[in-house]
Structure 1
Amino acid sequence: MASATATGNPEPTAGEAAAGASAPRVRRARFRGLPGSRLGRLILALNLLGLAVLIVGALVLNELRQGLVNARIDSLSTQGELIASILNQAATVGEPEPAMDAALATELLQTLSNPRAQRARLFDSQGRLVADSDWMADAVERRELPPARGSENEERGFSLMPRPARPTTSQVEATLAREVGVALQGRRWAGMRQSDTGQRVVSVSIPIQHVRAVLGVVTLEASDVDAIIAQERRALIPFILIAISVTVASSLLLNSLVAQPVLRMARAADRVRQARARAISLPDLAKRDDEVGDLTRSLEAMTHSLSERMDAIESFAADVAHEIRNPLTSLRSAVETLDLVSDPAARERLLNVLKNDVQRLDRLVTDISNASRLDAELSRDQPRIIDLGRLIGDIVALYQATAKPGDVQVRFTPHQGMEAVTVMGREGPLGQIVRNLIDNARSFSPPGDAVSVGMLRVKGEAIVTVSDNGPGIPPENLETVFERFYTSRPKGAAFGGNSGLGLSIARQIATAHGGTLRAENRTGAEGRVLGAMFVLTLPEAAP
């Protein structure tokens, strides 16, 4: 009853564990609409929303203010043109040189003006003030008195809310004189200026023309501009409050959607680091369909893979300790018995046992070292296109060159007429698969027999077979042979020549390359077992 030297289940790599059926499924966030991050677009939109509300409100109110000012100018212009026309028709005397009757014009101005709505002034052709609606209405100029004693800041020459400088009387009169001067040239003037009280007023100056002669100027001004602007500013307060509310709400939302989940993930990672947990588990965050959910699922998959890796390492360490304990126990017993044995033949047998145990330990340590370095070698070497036929041919040629008389021969028989078969992988590990399979087949072949290595291409896959003429593998052990440290030696096989790791390493390498490795028996007539055969399947490299 013989079976191929076997090794354990392949030790999962980090990538394999993450892709395994037991690992959490990693769903990638689906980006729809505009390119970029969905969460990034949400952050940008929420922060811009409050600013947009404020900007839109300011633009609307600025447009409204300008419209109100323009409407006030139009209204004053209409009234001024009407008054100027009436004064031209009713208060003009003298031919052929017309002149304005100041007394009659004053009476007409008093009748036509509305002192409560605007201030009206009348200037003669020399720019001298003839009439003022404030005089006729007995209006008293009111000015706020300064406080009896200024605040500490004002006493020092500054204040937190500085007021605009009030123009002097000469500055106001000069501005008004320029405005009247423009009108005396026959052109209408309309705009804004400051009054002697510091208020902004909308002013219109209309020339009183008789044919082409300018007899005087009618000036109308409205001082309710500051009230309008103050009202507009009060109207802007709701927009400001809305913008502040949106900004605060967006900040709280971003804190809830981003900051707190990231903090939870950081704390979960700390628990894993401090060995209080084997894996991160945040199911409520993993259900989210955004970048935070994607990150959570990736972290869960990563830590799950690390947990499986740790379990595999612990299991591997326990198996190593068990396998090393057997030869060490045998060595100890042989050493303790050696001094008590005086028979030369018995001493020779004990020395042979010691030699075999030492060889077994050496083989175990070598294979354990290779198995522990395998993951690092697979992650360090970059895959490249490999001519599988050339690789197998070189390995078989080395066996043939080093064979001694009576050794089991190795023959390579690729499929006839087949072109070069290439695979994507790492040459060193792939060569190790072939060598392990050949060594395993030679250990179960009769002396002087031969091991056959074949290769063919089937539906885009490269298939390598290694066959021997040994006793075969019991059907119940076709999978067991790939378990770690499993070995079943035929009669006469050298003790300690197999560690039970060769086939486990071979399957692990095949899995890392996206392939498979299986064992089966070759049968002949009447189902007689002719030997064992291992079949390696690897995906062929894309052309």
Structure 2
Amino acid sequence: MNHQRSFFRSIRFKLLLVSLTLLAIPWAGYRYIQETERFLRQTQETMLLGTAQAVAAILHNSPTLLTTSNDRKDDSDEPLIYLNPLTQSIQLDGYSEDWLPYLGNIERYPEQGEWQFESILGEYGSHLYLFIRIKDDRVLHLPPGATRMDLGDSVRISIQQASGQQVDYRIATTAPGWVTAQQMPTRKNDPYPVRREDRIQGEWQTSEHGYTLELRIPQYLVGDRIALSVSDLDDPTKPETAKFISTVSDGSQPLLGRIIRPDPEIGRMIGGLQHENARIWVLNRQQLVLARRGRLQPVDDAITAEDMPLPSPLQPLLRLILDQPSHHFEDEFSRSARLKGGEIEAALSGQPQTRRRHTPDEKAVILSAAWPIESDHGVVGAVLVEQSTNEILTLQNQALEKITGITLMLFLFTGLAILGFATLLTRRIRHLSSHIEAAVTPDGRIQGRLKPDQAEDEIGDLSRSFSSVLNRLSEYNRYLEAMASRLAHEFRTPLTIVKSSLENLNDNSDPEAQSRYIQRAEEGVSRLGLILHRMREATRLEQQLIQTEIETFDLNAMLEMALEGYRQAFSNVTFNLKGLDRQLFIKGAPDLISQALDKLISNAVDFHLYETTIELILTEQSTSLLRLAVRNQGPVLPPGMEQELFASMVSIRESKQGEPHLGLGLYLVRLISEFHGGHTEARNLPSGKGVEFSLVLPILKTARPHTDG
């Protein structure tokens, strides 16, 4: 019965009280921030030096550093092309989305003044990937059918192969879309390609300020040097007026640049030592970058909602009180492949050193610590660790703002979520209660089915349990009603016989007739007694199952003994046993199994065709189950009755038969099989000329084959 419950006594109020524990977050956060601020201010410089020293110790005698740090001529003016290791293959579509994690290393050309194109080179698997973004206020494509490559805007790639030979390729297109490279002749300024190079493929797309080109180049075509050059042509009738911008100079023949490959092994070694908002560099003696981990500031495109300050009612006040350092400052080292600085030169000379420098825009001060990497041959490189001195202030301000905002929002959302969740739970519980009450009448009768909840939680389990219980009770009620109707039907005939016999006996004085009426009345009484006996038999079996003692016995041997008894009891029936040639042990009650088998044999004898054989078939259904089947030729089962026959008070015998049949025989067989952990089955034979009833029982164990004698 539903009644209105006070909110302060409900589940919602109790869960709301639990959410008040979130108020401990700001106090604990404030205490933690105070300790963290004090610790960071005292240890920042020591931490950076310690990190640099630890990395240098790990890289002691590194093979890569020993290989790349041999004495060589000064190559400080040599152009460098930095090769970015990619974490996944690039989809060649001409757009920069796949390159977003690596755009911080993009190179702009020319380096001084306004850039005309920018490029980035990546490596994944057996291919190099190249992304070029070109500024061009008028993109000029090749005329259709053109055989010259200088009649439109184009990109030239010069590659020094592993053999040392230099090969030039040119990419131009008649329209945006899929492009392939054209190998150019070795003769200078020859505009006619030698052949098409299908191994260098990509996508050309028009952009807002010009066009973009994305290429894929097999690794085996590229040695350790490469150069890029962009040709900007505005007048197709004067190809000689094209402007060339390359990775080094504005000449039409760019100087090849050396490809710098970061060492992934060094990157893995230093990966576990990086700090938040800090950057670790590993340099060889030529100050070339071999590995880098971390960053000083977030990239604009990579800033997420988590990095942004959360709104807080106290935020305006905090911003007035606290200094607000900028997270966005100019970082002149962010795209560098070669680093220079006094601390680096000191470290390469063998002396650890720190240095503070202002960023070019004066928005931050960078603290850097350099430590020499030594080997048995001397100093082979340096480790540089950088961190902004604004980090402490940034952490303090962000932490105070975030903790304040997060606490308020978390308390608000958690309280609302808990309140909503509790409301949902109570609503579901009320619905379940009302549905249960609606399914059962006040006098206890079940008047409808309870639709189970499909939710995979405890309330759903409870709903399905209630639904299952009500359905079983409903079926039991129908069973009781059916049993009452069947009992009334079975009692009606013998009672009618007794009643009519007594009336005729009272009206007829002929001794012979009286004797006949008395005999008919006795038959009716006997029939009533047989009905009661069979009902007691079913009840007695259910009670007997509780007290039955379990033992282990060989079912094969029991069947052989039982078969002899059946042959004597039914001398006019032929029985055939198809057993197994080994022992089949089961755990159970032999008397009950015999009783179930008696019911199946009696049923088969009643329905079998004259002069046909009744077969007992014992087989192993699986390693843990056996099947005992009784098969006879005769009438088949009506459709849909295969399992209904094993219910109580169900029978398909014709009412013209002499003895009453309450449908309890197969019901007892089912009780016995379920008591032994098995089940019963019934089916029509495939031939359509008989039926088969089976007991499926678990096997305890099997023994070796036995022989007679």
Q: When the two structures are superposed, what TM-score results if normalisation uses the length of structure 2?
A: 0.36
Larger fraction in helix: 1
Q: When the two structures are superposed, what TM-score results if normalisation uses the length of structure 1?
A: 0.46
Larger RCO, structure (CA 8 Å, separation 6 or more): 1
Larger fraction in strand: 2
Q: Which has the larger radius of gyration?
A: 1
